[in-house]
Chains A and B, each alone.
Chain A
């Protein structure tokens, strides 16, 4: 199960083109043993009440830890969730999590899926009971945290964060282009796509992480009776219909798209921005046009270029890194 390798834990170094992380490595110094323990937990279905669903069931490495092809999540007893499963990547840089930004700390984040009745439907206390009944976990937790007491929630959450914090995606062809590394060439069309993205999408999908981490309404709906997004947390009507701007890294693989997975393809997403938007009270100012329907005009060539560029954000190393796979 455990490797004795001395290779570095993934995501320990800050990529040259990335800003300073919020959850820096010094806050939970990565070690191989703790990282592997976190990985075992991430892939362990015992974290769910039924013993059938692990974090990895909904977050699959091959699609950047999103849920391949699934509109909404499927939890224990095939309960359908209310939102689309986002990719898990570059979590060290996130000030808050989920489409509505409820949880604010990467270590506390797993409490949400574990206790959500539509996801793992389990209590943290029960998870700890199961782990404490397992001799191998007992030994491995002791190896990482020392002490003689039982495995506690602090140890559990810290270990899991060793794995989730390691999910750094920073080696796409785009990254190598930006860092001027070998293999970092973009075609003329991809380069035009990059320029268009920075111009037309860059206010929101900003910077090297392709998100400004803000909550915005990008014109999907007129009303928000089922999911008010950010307002679910702030209870302010001015936040109704605003959702976290998702990163566009690995976006070619993370469909279906948007908080409710309504668009199956990137083409459909571009259609939405070009001519599918609807007005509502909280629609982002960035998307409003005086005298016109809201939207971002995209000529056919621009669409083609944008799509070409978005594919350069696929990070094969991340998707196939054996260290991040189930062991």
Chain B
């Protein structure tokens, strides 16, 4: 932990000098904060758990969502000159049932204008095989106990198109070669800039559209995929679907 702190300090100092030599118009050199707020949506609707009417998946089915959680990790910000800041110990569990979990705060960010935001949906392979964890990685019943590895994205609910009692359980995960569902995305900022400097805390509003899990290169239909609790082809397919456009930067406020 100490080590990480010093690394962060070092990075801060390093980018401080970079800032000075690049004549950035920011005269403040203290690290600052950036917030990212995740809003889970289904198409044009804000997601509600146990909604009175089911949502359309976009792939032809309907779903009532009872639980929705996912890991966001290894958040990175990049400046136009290519300087990158990677948050140390960067693991967040976004849980639709816990409003506070949907707003994450990146602190100790070196000041400057950032033109790109990158994060991973899921958990890197190293942490999947590590021992007991603290923080987000210890929460939310998101680990395959009988096997090994985190559930990266968990969506549970009911669908009239699912067989039997209509239960839908989609636990997407997998980090090993051939079944890797770890996805890293860099959603476009639409030429906006994330201005990080003391006294300003920009807030990046990210929308996560559940429909994108079901549409894409492999449409997911509940008649065949409804009880997913392991890594493998289905998990990889869903992760490839959501890699493409599920996470969209809707706006950046407080710039």
A-to-B contact residues, CB < 8 Å: 27-28, 96, 98, 102-108, 111-112, 114-116, 123-125, 152-154, 156-158, 161, 233, 235
Contact = CB atoms under 8 A, between A and B. Distances in A.
A308 B137 CA distance: 49
Contact of A105 (B131, B138, B232): B131
B129 A114 contact: no
Nearest to B139: A153
Contact of A154 (B132, B144, B147, B230): B132
- Count chain B CB atoms within 10 A of each CB in A28, A161, A233 and give the residue with the most: A233
Interface string B117-145: 00000000000011111100010010111
A41 to B, nearest CB: 13
A112 B146 contact: yes
Contact of A153 (B129, B138, B230, B232): B138
Contact of B132 (A98, A112, A157): A157
Contacts of B131: 27-28, 105-108, 157-158, 161
Given A152-B138, A235-B232, A161 B132 contact: yes
Contacts, number: 56
A103 B148 contact: yes
A111 B147 contact: no
Interface residues of B, number: 16
Contact of A102 (B130, B133, B138, B148): B148
A107 B148 CA distance: 12
A141 to B, nearest CB: 13
A102 B146 contact: yes
Given A28-B131, A105-B131, 8 more contacts: A104-B148, A105-B130, A107-B132, A108-B131, A108-B132, A123-B141, A154-B134, A235-B230
Contacts of A154: 132-134, 138
B132 A153 contact: yes
A108 B134 CA distance: 12
Nearest to A111: B145
Nearest to A28: B131
B129 A112 contact: no
A96 B146 CA distance: 11
Contact of B134 (A102, A105, A106, A152): A152
Given A154-B132, A161-B131, A105 B148 contact: yes
B129 A104 contact: yes
Given A102-B146, A103-B146, A235-B232, A158 B129 contact: no
B146 A108 contact: no
B117 to A, nearest CB: 29
30 contacts: A28-B131, A98-B146, A102-B147, A102-B148, A103-B146, A103-B147, A103-B148, A104-B129, A105-B130, A105-B131, A107-B132, A108-B131, A108-B132, A108-B145, A112-B145, A114-B145, A115-B145, A115-B146, A116-B145, A124-B141, A152-B134, A152-B138, A153-B132, A153-B138, A154-B133, A156-B132, A157-B132, A161-B131, A233-B147, A235-B232
Contacts of B133: 154
